[in-house]
Amino acid sequence: MPTETIIALCISACALIFTALSFRRNANNDSSEIVTQRATITADLRYIRDSIDEIKLENKSIQKDLSELKTKLVEVEASAKSAHKRLDDLNKKG
């Protein structure tokens, strides 16, 4: 075999080895990037879940307050009705 052919084969083999190593290195970098993205997404999802839990608690509190206000409103309406009736009776007498 001529020397030029041997040199060309050696260079080709080295190029293949370097290409394979570069590919493997890039695959590892891509893998770590995916792990980082997943961790970020997981943290964001936890934050969203916690926020939703807080909103649910606030909503329950608001519902309780509304229920209490409805009860008070019924009492005030009954009192106002009674007061109007007494005023009407006073106007009829007077």
pLDDT tens profile 38-82? 899 999 999 999 999 999 999 999 999 999 999 999 999 999 999
Would the pLDDT of 92 be above 90? no
How much is the pTM? 0.53
Tell me, what amino acid is at 1?
M
Alpha-carbon distance of 59 to 73, in angstroms, equals: 21
Q: Tell me, what DSSP letter sits at residue 75?
A: H
> CA torsion 81→85→88→94, rounded to 10°?
-140
